[in-house]
């Protein structure tokens, strides 16, 4: 038995973490309330709350005001850049697939993102990524991806209205789509040959925290540009994952 002179809140956080690991407190099940934990560990409520702050920062629990806390599932994706987009390219009617089904190793039938599509003028920021004038008409697509009901990640992406207007890609029936964004563009005769990705780590916005059901941990945010013939034909700004929800893999040839 080792002496434990660490702060009480850290000990409690560890103990609760162990219970989650052991499955004593299950994924999606209600977490003990502040009052219960206060009672069990014989500490003040602030000490309980400090312990839960640790678990929240680790992304292990999610807390909703007035309702309680829940254990967050860990759904780690391996997002291998070199092969995920090739999955898009090689999707066939017989074996439909997308980069996302590739990341999670799931069948296409389990791929049913929520989607909201709207027209929008290019903000200066998106315009620069697209290398077009600010104000250029775009089609904006907000997606939320889920696995067994739990959100895995979300994205906001844009096509040039000029390119997709009047096609199925501009409608809500464009998801789920075999071949993903690359499939969309291919159906319009545009062949994507290059993808540029920028990765950042930051704290989530309130909306991101709500949608992704995370209370305090960091997110990984990817800004993506797809190019065809040297021209930018799709911009995703941004694709947002819970910090512990993905491992990105890239290769660089010299």
- Report the relative pairing of strands 61-64 and 219-228 from DSSP bridges: unpaired
With CB under 8 A, what is the number of residues at the site for a copy of itself? 37
Contact, 174 vs 117, CB < 8 A? yes
- Residue bearing tokens 């560890």: 14
Indicate the residue among 81 and 144 with the shorter CB distance to a copy of itself.
Answer: 81
Region class of 164: left (phi > 0), else alpha (psi between -120 and 50), else beta: alpha
- Residue bearing tokens 């990105």: 248
Under the binding rule (CB under 7 A), the answer on residue 9 touching DNA is yes
Indicate the residue among 4 and 128 with the shorter CB distance to DNA.
Answer: 4
Indicate the residue among 170 and 238 with the shorter CB distance to a copy of itself.
Answer: 238
Contact, 192 vs 159, CB < 8 A? no
Two structure tokens written together for 122? 């290019």
Under the binding rule (CB under 8 A), the answer on residue 188 touching a copy of itself is no
Under the binding rule (CB under 8 A), the answer on residue 17 touching a copy of itself is no
Indicate the residue among 7 and 26 with the shorter CB distance to DNA.
Answer: 7
Under the binding rule (CB under 7 A), the answer on residue 34 touching DNA is yes
Indicate the residue among 115 and 248 with the shorter CB distance to a copy of itself.
Answer: 248
Under the binding rule (CB under 8 A), the answer on residue 200 touching a copy of itself is yes
We find the least distance from the C-beta atom of residue 131 to a copy of itself, in angstroms, to be 16
Two structure tokens written together for 115? 């989607």
**Residue 198 binds what, of a copy of itself, DNA, none (CB under 5 to 8 Å, by partner type)?**
a copy of itself
Q: Cis omega before residue 238 (within 30°)?
A: yes
- Residue bearing tokens 């844009």: 158
Among residues 47, 83, 123, 187, the one that binds DNA under rule CB under 7 A: 47
Q: Give the separation between CA 121 and CA 82, rounded to whole angstroms.
A: 32
Which residues of this chain interact with DNA, rule CB under 7 A?
Answer: 7-10, 31, 33-36, 42-47, 49-50, 52, 63-69, 215
């Amino acid at each position: 038995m080792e002496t434990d002179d660490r702060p009480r809140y850290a000990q409690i956080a560890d103990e609760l973490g162990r219970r989650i690991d052991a499955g004593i407190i299950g994924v999606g099940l209600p977490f003990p309330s502040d009052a219960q934990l206060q009672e069990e560990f014989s500490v003040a409520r602030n000490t309980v709350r400090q312990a839960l702050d640790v678990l929240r920062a680790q992304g292990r629990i999610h807390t909703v005001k007035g309702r309680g806390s829940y254990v967050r599932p860990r759904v780690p994706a391996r997002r291998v850049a070199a092969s995920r987009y090739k999955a898009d390219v090689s999707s066939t009617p017989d074996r439909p697939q997308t980069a996302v089904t590739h990341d999670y190793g799931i069948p296409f039938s389990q791929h049913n993102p929520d989607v909201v599509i709207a027209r929008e003028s290019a903000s200066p920021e998106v315009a620069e990524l697209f290398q077009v004038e600010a104000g250029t008409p775009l089609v904006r697509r907000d997606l939320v991806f889920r696995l067994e009901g739990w959100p895995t990640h979300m994205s906001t992406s844009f096509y040039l209205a000029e390119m997709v207007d009047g096609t199925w890609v501009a409608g809500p029936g464009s998801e789920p789509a075999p071949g993903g964004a690359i499939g969309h563009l291919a159906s319009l005769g545009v062949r994507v040959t290059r993808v540029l990705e920028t990765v950042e780590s930051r704290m989530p916005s309130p909306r991101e925290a709500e949608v992704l059901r995370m209370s305090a941990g960091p997110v990984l945010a990817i800004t993506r540009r797809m190019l065809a013939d040297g021209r930018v034909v799709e911009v995703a700004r941004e694709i947002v994952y819970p910090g512990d929800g993905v491992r990105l893999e890239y290769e660089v040839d010299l």
